[in-house]
């Protein structure tokens, strides 16, 4: 029942289903930072502050520790299994096909909702940016039904634009992504330089107004440090998108580990500085749940010109997150289709661009539809649920492979693997249980649907049915 994908089949694909190697470690680090630094810090810091107050700093720290352990597990597995698919592929090799399917099904949820979340966050900054120039866009066309609008048109348009870039070619997308990442980091450093001198210790009081564990507040919102951590966890992941680029990396044995760990370390430092500067500059109640918290903080500090710069940087640079996750989503779909778990015709590579055009278009239609009507905090929570399951699977895969295949070549080995793997699994499980109850209920529904799809279609169409090595 728990048949595994043999190692020898990981890289043996015909030209019709083979990706082009065009990415260096610089591109991978930029892809990781581009994915990690985005809506989480530009937008969700306000959502986290609403749930935890100034103690959202602890929420960031706890989420960061869990993600660091997951990143180390990812780095080891990526160096050992240089094939696209990330957590899905690692689970297929280590844990078996049914678990790999559920992980892939969760990754579909994660990436689809991340792209939608970022598109909605980008739309919020576009509206604020244009407002600064006296241009008012109609609410009906800039928000979903939950916010009094009809359709979030900017969110749909940016998703389509990024997809068009990806279809054009991976290397071209990576070069533009690197430039935009530099703009984004510069904007955040400007924010820190301006806001940090206004640090007022009184703004950090009371530090933990809603307690540590998840609890239902008077406003009907589940609050507390852990409730916020389960949301701002969204701000840290993105390094997993690097793992999906394994078959397009020029030197995957070395570059994947550099990309994953390098992007995670760099982003952790940036987040600590930005969160500290934001919380110290003004009371968290000012920017809690704002669609553009960093720009709002600067306006409160009478820095209207700089707030426009930050908003402009977000408008220009948030698409790097869209690019990274839409890229990852299309590659997850691509690998699952190549393995036969989804229709195989979706896994064809366009000979001119070297990219999976069909699956990219299908992915774009899905996420653009979600972005047009979705609510930011709810889709972020659902995306986190899928990611947390994937991270647990990677931690488990690393530990299983250490036991079942200890002699296989590992160009990167996670230090204190059993501690790292245990923290990644248990930490992700705790964060998962700290998600809103409604989110957990919808997640169960999503995976029930996935289980039926696997039983009725995917298991019978799996490529493992056509190989004598299915038990290897």
- The tens digit of pLDDT for each residue in 391-433 reads 999 999 999 999 998 888 888 888 889 999 999 999 889 888 8
Q: What is the pTM of this model?
A: 0.76
Cβ–Cβ under 8 Å, residues 243 and 256: yes
Give the pLDDT score at 154.
84
Distance CA 38, CA 235 (A): 7
| Residue in 105, 123, 161, 48 with CA at minimum distance from that of residue 375 | 123
* pLDDT value for 91: 92
How many CB atoms within 10 Å of residue 247? 22
Q: CB 272: neighbour CB atoms within 10 A?
A: 15
pLDDT at 169: 63
Question: Over the range 171-200, which residues count as b (16 or more CB within 10 Å of their CB) and which as e?
Answer: eebbeebbebbeebbebbebbbebbeeeee
d(Cα 358, Cα 374) in Å, to the nearest integer? 24
Residue 422: predicted pLDDT: 94
Digit-coded pLDDT (tens) for 346-402: 767 766 766 677 777 877 787 777 767 666 556 666 777 888 899 999 999 999 999
pLDDT at residue number 97: 92
Give the range of the structural domain holding residue 95, as residue numbers without chain letter. 22-466
Name the residue with tokens 């993600």: 67
Alpha helices in 196-251 (DSSP H): 225-232, 240-243
Cα(459)–Cα(414) distance, integer angstroms: 33
Q: Which two tokens stand for residue 384?
A: 């986190």
450, part of any domain: yes
* 85 within a domain of the structure (yes/no): yes
| Structural domain contains residue 10 | no
9 domain-assigned: no
Domain count, the chain: 1
460 membership: H or E segment, kind and range: helix 459-461
- 325 and 114 Cβ atoms separated by less than 8 Å: yes
pLDDT value of position 174: 67
Please report, for the domain that includes residue 419, its CATH number.
1.20.1740.10
Distance of CA 355 to the CA centre of its chain: 21
Q: Where are the beta strands (DSSP E) in 202-342?
A: 215-216, 222-223
Residue 250 is classified by DSSP as: S
| Per-residue confidence in pLDDT tens, the chain, 472 aa | 778 877 666 655 544 555 556 677 777 777 777 777 765 666 667 777 778 888 888 888 888 888 888 888 988 888 888 777 888 999 999 999 999 999 999 888 777 777 777 787 778 778 877 877 788 888 788 777 766 778 888 888 888 888 887 777 665 666 777 777 788 788 888 889 988 898 888 888 888 887 877 766 656 667 788 888 877 776 777 777 777 776 777 777 777 777 787 777 777 778 878 888 888 888 888 877 676 788 788 888 888 778 877 777 777 767 777 777 777 777 788 888 888 898 877 767 766 766 677 777 877 787 777 767 666 556 666 777 888 899 999 999 999 999 998 888 888 888 889 999 999 999 889 888 888 888 888 889 989 999 999 999 989 988 888 664 444 4
Tokens of 67: 């993600």
- pLDDT at residue 468, rounded to an integer: 42
92 contacts 100 by C-beta, under 8 angstroms: yes
Identify whether 14 is part of a domain: no
Both tokens assigned to 329? 């989503």
Residue 269 sits at the vertex; the CA angle it makes with 264 and 275, to the nearest 5 degrees, is 115
- Residue 300: inside a domain, yes or no? yes
Nearest to 155 by CA among 119, 126, 114, 115: 119
Query: For residue 5, is it within any domain?
Result: no
129 occurs within a structural domain: yes
């Amino acid at each position: 029942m728990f048949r595994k994908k043999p190692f020898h089949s990981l890289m043996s694909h015909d030209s019709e289903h083979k990706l082009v190697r065009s990415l260096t470690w610089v591109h991978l680090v930029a892809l990781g930072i581009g994915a990690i630094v985005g809506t989480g810090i530009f937008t969700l810091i306000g959502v986290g502050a609403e749930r935890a107050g100034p103690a959202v700093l602890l929420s960031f720290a706890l989420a960061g520790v869990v993600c660091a352990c997951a990143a180390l597990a990812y780095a080891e597995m990526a160096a050992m299994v240089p094939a696209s698919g990330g957590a899905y592929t690692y689970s297929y090799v280590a844990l078996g096909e049914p678990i790999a399917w559920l992980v892939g099904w969760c990754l579909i949820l994660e990436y689809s909702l991340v792209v939608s979340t970022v598109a909605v966050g980008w739309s919020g900054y576009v509206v604020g940016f244009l407002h600064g120039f006296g241009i008012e866009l109609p609410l009906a066309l800039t928000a979903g039904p939950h916010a009094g609008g009809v359709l979030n048109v900017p969110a749909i348009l940016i998703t389509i634009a990024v997809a068009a870039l990806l279809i054009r070619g991976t290397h071209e997308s990576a070069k533009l992504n690197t430039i935009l990442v530099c703009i984004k980091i510069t904007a955040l450093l400007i924010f820190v330089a301006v806001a940090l001198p206004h640090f007022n210790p009184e703004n950090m009081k009371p530090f933990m107004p809603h307690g540590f564990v998840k609890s239902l507040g008077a406003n009907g919102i589940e609050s507390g440090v852990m409730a916020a951590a389960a949301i701002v966890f969204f701000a840290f992941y993105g390094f997993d998108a690097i793992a999906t680029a394994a078959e397009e990396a020029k030197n995957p044995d070395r570059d994947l580990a550099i990309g994953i760990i390098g992007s995670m370390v760099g982003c952790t430092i940036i987040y600590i500085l930005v969160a500290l500067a934001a919380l110290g500059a003004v009371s968290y109640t000012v920017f809690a749940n704002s669609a553009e918290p960093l720009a709002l903080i600067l306006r409160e500090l009478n820095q209207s010109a700089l707030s426009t710069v930050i908003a402009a940087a977000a408008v220009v640079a948030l698409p790097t997150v869209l690019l990274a996750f839409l890229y990852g989503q299309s590659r997850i779909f691509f690998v699952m289709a190549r393995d036969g778990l989804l229709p195989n015709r979706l896994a064809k590579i366009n000979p001119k661009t070297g990219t999976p055009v069909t699956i990219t278009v299908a992915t774009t239609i899905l996420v653009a539809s979600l972005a047009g009507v979705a609510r930011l905090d709810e889709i972020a929570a659902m995306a986190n649920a899928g990611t947390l399951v994937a991270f647990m699977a990677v931690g488990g895969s690393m530990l299983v492979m250490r036991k079942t295949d200890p002699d296989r070549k590992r160009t990167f080995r996670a230090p204190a693997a059993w501690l790292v793997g245990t923290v990644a699994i248990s930490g992700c499980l705790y964060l998962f249980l700290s998600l809103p109850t409604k989110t957990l209920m919808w997640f169960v529904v999503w995976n029930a649907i996935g289980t039926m799809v696997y039983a009725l279609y995917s298991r019978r169409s799996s490529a493992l049915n056509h190989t004598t090595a299915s038990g290897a």
